[in-house]
Structure 1
Amino acid sequence: MPTHILVIEDDKQIRENLSEMLTLHGFEIQTAANGREGISQALLHPPELILCDIMMPEVDGYQVLKVVRGNRLIANVPFIFLTAKTDPVDIRRGMNHGADDYLTKPFTLQNLLHTIESRLQREALRKQELKGQLETYRHSLGSVAAHEYNTALAGIIGFCSLLLDDYAQLSGEEVISMVEMIKVSGLRLKRSLDNIQLMDALQQLDPSQAAYRHFSSGHSSISAGLVDSYLVAVAYRQDREVSYELDVVSAELGLSEENLQLCLSELIDNAVKFSSSGQRILIRGIGKGTAIVLALLTKANPLKRSI
Structure 2
Amino acid sequence: MATKILYIEDETHIRENTADLLRLHEYAVTTAANGREGISQAMLSPPDLILCDIRMPHLDGYQVLDTIREYRPLATVPFIFLSAKTDEIDVRRGMALGADDYLKKPFTLDSLLLAVESRLQRETLREADLQARVEVLRQTMTRVSNHEYNTPLGGILGFASLMMAHYDEFDREESLSMLAMIKACSLRLKRSLDNLRLMETLQQVKPGQTEYTFFTNGASRIDPDRVQQQIHTLNDRLDASISCQPEVESANIALSDHNLGIILDELLDNAHKFSRGPHPIQITGRQAGLNYQLTIANQGLPFKAEDVARIAPFVQFDRHQYEQQGSGVGLAIVKKLLDLNHGLLSIDSLPAGETSVAIILPLAR
TM score, norm. by length of structure 2:
0.53
1:182-261 matches, within 5 Å, as 183-184=186-187, 187=190, 221-222=210-211, 224=214, 239-240=237-238, 247=255
- Residue by residue over 1:47-87, the C-alpha shift from the partner in whole angstroms, topping out at 9 and shown as x without a partner, is 22110001111211122222223333322211111112344
Question: d(CA) in 1 for partners of 2:76 and 2:20?
Answer: 26
SS of the residue 2:98 aligns to: coil
Matching residue of 2:64: 64
SS of the residue 1:275 aligns to: helix
**Identical counterparts, % of pairs:** 43
SS of the residue 1:114 aligns to: helix
Q: Which runs of 5+ in 2 are unaligned?
A: 219-229, 240-252, 273-280, 284-293, 295-333, 347-356, 360-365
Question: d(CA) in 2 for partners of 1:271 and 1:119?
Answer: 45
Return the offset for 1:124: 1.0
Question: d(CA) in 2 for partners of 1:297 and 1:46?
Answer: 41
In structure 2, do the counterparts of structure 1 residues 15 and 191 end up closer, same or farther at CA, with 3 Å as the change threshold? Answer: same
Matching residue of 1:109: 109
What amino acid is aligned across from residue 224 of structure 1 in structure 2? F
Aligned pair count reads 251
- Residue by residue over 1:15-60, the C-alpha shift from the partner in whole angstroms, topping out at 9 and shown as x without a partner, is 2223333233332222221122222333333322110001111211
SS of the residue 1:102 aligns to: strand
What amino acid is aligned across from residue 61 of structure 1 in structure 2? G
2:271 matches 1:276: yes
1:162-181 matches, within 5 Å, as 162-163=162-163, 164-167=165-168, 168-170=170-172, 177=180, 180-181=183-184
What amino acid is aligned across from residue 72 of structure 2 in structure 1? R
Question: d(CA) in 2 for partners of 1:50 and 1:176?
Answer: 63
Question: d(CA) in 2 for partners of 1:77 and 1:284?
Answer: 34
In structure 2, do the counterparts of structure 1 residues 52 and 143 end up closer, same or farther at CA, with 3 Å as the change threshold? Answer: same
Q: Which runs of 5+ in 1 are unaligned?
A: 196-210, 249-263, 287-292, 302-307
1:118-129 matches, within 5 Å, as 118-129=118-129
2:18 matches 1:2: no
1:32-47 matches, within 5 Å, as 32-47=32-47
2:96 matches 1:96: yes
SS of the residue 2:166 aligns to: helix
In 1, are the aligned partners of 2:34 and 2:56 still within 8 Å (CA)? yes
In our comparison, the structure showing a higher alpha carbon Rg is: 2
Return the offset for 1:149: 4.0
Aligned Cα root-mean-square deviation (Å): 4.5
Matching residue of 1:80: 80
2:19 matches 1:23: no
In 1, are the aligned partners of 2:188 and 2:237 still within 8 Å (CA)? no
Single out whichever of 101-110 and 44-53 deviates more from structure 2: 101-110
In 1, are the aligned partners of 2:11 and 2:33 still within 8 Å (CA)? yes
Question: d(CA) in 2 for partners of 1:43 and 1:273?
Answer: 48
In 2, are the aligned partners of 1:5 and 1:28 still within 8 Å (CA)? yes
In 2, are the aligned partners of 1:155 and 1:185 still within 8 Å (CA)? no
Question: d(CA) in 2 for partners of 1:77 and 1:143?
Answer: 33
